[in-house]
Amino acid sequence: MAKVRVGIVGCGGIANQKHLPSLRANAELNEVVAFCDIQRDRAEKAAKEYGTADAKVYTDYHDLVNDPNVDVVHVCTPNVAHCPVTVAAFEAGKHVMCEKPMAHCTADAKKMIDAWKKSGKKFTIGYQNRLRDDTQTLHASCEAGELGDIYFAKAHALRRRAVPTWGVFPNKELQGGGPLIDIGTHALDITLWMMNNYEPVSVSGQVFYKLGRDEHGPEGNVFGPWDPKTFQVEDSAFGLVKMKNGATIYLEASWALNILKSMEASTTLCGTKAGAEIHHGGSYPKDELIYNTVEHNQLMEKTISPAGVVDFFEGGASAEGVREQKQWLEAIINDTEPLVKPEQAYVVTQILEGIYKSAETGKEVFFD
């Protein structure tokens, strides 16, 4: 079996902390043959550590996507660059895995969808949290109908004080937003996936710029102090999403919020037969999956506590990251569908943008 030849565009944190270690863990399926970054030294460093002996190094992504030795492009750039790199890769006849979120706005996401459909290639988005043990278990329960009709849910992405102080995270021009688009996107993705509901009707939202720009805000931050003068994005955001079938989702996201219990990539589901909650990251050193139901006229709780997964990447290949790359590479090799569908990721971007627009206008945003 020929190995899939991968090219990496963007050799910063997410490439080195998730994609490259996880690709290495699936070395029997792939080899990384090209690296691109606007900072050449970063591309050279990544190529030396993870690339083939003859791996190419580029500073212009057009050169990488047009390299005939590259089969698939992994887009690991800041959010606003997801669209142009992805579209160029599809036009060059490559498969694409784009890091989350699909794009910083719906218009760009639509361009990516259109380019993908025209190309006939594979396309997926990096929502690796679907591949954790707890999310896989809960999704199986939802598919089996064990919760019944899920009509209310909460998507949790709350950090007490864990603002990322590296890279371009506080830069609105490059990222499009703060915690809502960064970690809120994961919580919303797993919640929609559990519900198998991708038909939003409207959204109301509010975002806050309270702690990020306050001179005392950086105190106690897990990743060290940030500069309030360059903190351009929100520090917390909240949204209420109404679905076509009447279901409702409450989304909460923060990098800095004076709250005791923190969690991210977590969800609460309320169905007609039972409920379930996933607690992951933050205040929970071990992942918790808790079902609540009624048995023999008694309220019951069933808890599963698998080995914990920390919520911040440490540079190693996490189990969910390795699984993500395995199923993605096998989808290319076997011509099957990847776990994360582009149409699903598009709806996530649509809702996130709706929350920002609602907060800006003070009005409910309706979708076509």
Gap between the Cα atoms of 56 and 18, Å rounded: 21
CATH of the domain at 49: 3.40.50.720
Give which of 123, 90, 21, 186 is closest to 340, Cα–Cα: 123
Q: How confident is the model at residue 221 (pLDDT cuts 50, 70, 90)?
A: very high
Q: Which domain, by its residues, includes 296?
A: 130-311+346-366
Number of domains in the chain: 2
Q: Do the Cβ atoms of 130 and 189 come closer than 8 Å?
A: yes
Q: Are residues 169 and 96 in the same domain?
A: no
Q: Which residues contact 240 (CB under 8 A, 6 or more apart)?
A: 203, 204, 205, 248, 249, 250, 251
Give the mean pLDDT of 337-353.
Answer: 98
Does the CA dihedral 30-31-33-34 come out positive or negative? positive
Q: Which two tokens stand for residue 119?
A: 């190309």
What pLDDT digit, counting tens, does each position of 266-318 carry? 999 999 999 999 999 989 988 999 999 999 999 999 997 544 444 444 445 67
3-state secondary structure of 241: strand
What letter would DSSP give residue 182? I
What's the chain's length in residues? 368
The answer on pLDDT for 248 being more than 70 is: yes
Q: Residue 215: what pLDDT? A: 87
**Percent of the residues in the chain that have a pLDDT greater than 90, as a whole number:** 88
Let me know if residue 176 belongs to a domain: yes
Gap between the Cα atoms of 32 and 325, Å rounded: 13
Instruction: For strands 248-254 and 150-158, give the pairing.
Output: parallel
Q: Are residues 117 and 134 in the same domain?
A: no
Let me know if residue 184 belongs to a domain: yes
Q: Are residues 107 and 199 in the same domain?
A: no
What pLDDT digit, counting tens, does each position of 13-42 carry? 999 999 999 999 999 999 999 999 999 999
Let me know if residue 331 belongs to a domain: no
Gap between the Cα atoms of 171 and 289, Å rounded: 35
Q: Residue 317: what pLDDT? A: 61
pTM equals 0.94
CATH of the domain at 232: 3.30.360.10
Q: Residue 305: what pLDDT? A: 53
3-state secondary structure of 134: helix
What pLDDT digit, counting tens, does each position of 106-162 carry? 999 999 999 999 999 999 999 999 999 999 999 999 999 999 999 999 999 999 999
